[in-house]
Amino acid sequence: MTDFHNLEDWLEWIDELSDKHYVVVDHFLSQPLYTTLKNYFVEHQELFTQAGIGSLDNHQVRTKIRGDKTYWLDANRDVDLNSFWHLVQETKNVLNRYCYLSLSGHEFHLAHYPPGGHYARHLDQFEERSNRMITMIVYLNDGWKTGDGGELEIFEPDKSLSLIQPLGNRCVLFKSGVVPHAVLKSHKDRYSLTGWLTYQPKGLAWI
């Protein structure tokens, strides 16, 4: 099995992403790549730090809004994840080609929500920095059950809600600027790889 997907699958996911603004894909990674990611997570867990939110720097305020700890990845440093970086590049290529986007960069972190952790409703684009175009999450939780909490809650335009369980090797892609979402309180340790495919206007590259 290769780490990439065939175009037919991609076109189906892209259709759903265009229509509903998000798509959920199960069994997204090959089993070896999924295992590599999970091991990487465990090996780096002591390096995680409390996640921030925009410009707010008050610890109490932050943990009220989001309770996860994160570890930012760097494709140049984290070369053990090369297969994953290739997959990210392929994802950008298909989205550029078939959704007419101009994705050029990316930023990814590993995230750990300890029991009781959540993330209040938000959008992934900030006022001061709105170059995040597509959010890409891969969950790393084997044996997640109903009742464990930690669902990704998506607020649909018609005001209905969709709850997505953070099941192992499930990928969620959504449009960062238009999909309000939250992470419901998790009752267990909840692990994920979360990233953003970004658009870097050429003229801004040196700012």
Stretch that binds Fe ion, among 26-34, 65-73, 116-124, 198-206 (CB under 5 A): 116-124
Segment 96-104 long-range contacts (CB within 8 Å, at least 24 positions apart): 98/10, 98/11, 98/14, 99/14, 99/17, 99/18, 101/133, 101/134, 101/197, 101/199, 102/199, 103/133, 103/134, 103/197, 103/198, 103/199, 104/198, 104/199, 104/200
Which of 29, 87, 103, 137 is close enough to bind ligand AKG by CB under 6 A?
137
Q: Shortest CA distance to 191 belongs to which of 24, 71, 29, 28?
A: 71
Site for ligand AKG in 143-202 (CB under 6 A): 152, 181, 183, 192, 194
Alpha carbons 160 and 119: distance in angstroms, whole number: 19
Cβ nearer to ligand AKG, comparing 2 with 49: 49
Shortest distance in whole angstroms from residue 194 CB to ligand AKG = 5
DSSP 167: B
Shortest distance in whole angstroms from residue 25 CB to ligand AKG = 14
User: Residue 152 binds what, of ligand AKG, Fe ion, none (CB under 5 to 8 Å, by partner type)?
Assistant: ligand AKG
Alpha carbons 26 and 169: distance in angstroms, whole number: 6
Shortest distance in whole angstroms from residue 118 CB to ligand AKG = 10
Cβ nearer to Fe ion, comparing 122 with 187: 122
Indicate the pairing of strand 22-25 with strand 119-122: unpaired
Cβ nearer to ligand AKG, comparing 91 with 194: 194
- Give the binding-site size for ligand AKG (rule: CB under 6 A): 9
Place of tokens 């109490």: 60
Residue 124 binds ligand AKG, judged by CB under 6 A: yes
Which of 13, 67, 87, 124 is close enough to bind Fe ion by CB under 5 A?
124
Residue 68 binds Fe ion, judged by CB under 5 A: no
Instruction: Using CB positions, name the residue nearest to ligand AKG.
Output: 152
Q: Please, which residues have CB within 8 angstroms of residue 16's CB and are 6 or more apart in sequence?
A: 22, 23
> Under the rule (CB under 6 A), what is the footprint of ligand AKG?
111, 119, 124, 137, 152, 181, 183, 192, 194
> Under the rule (CB under 5 A), what is the footprint of Fe ion?
124
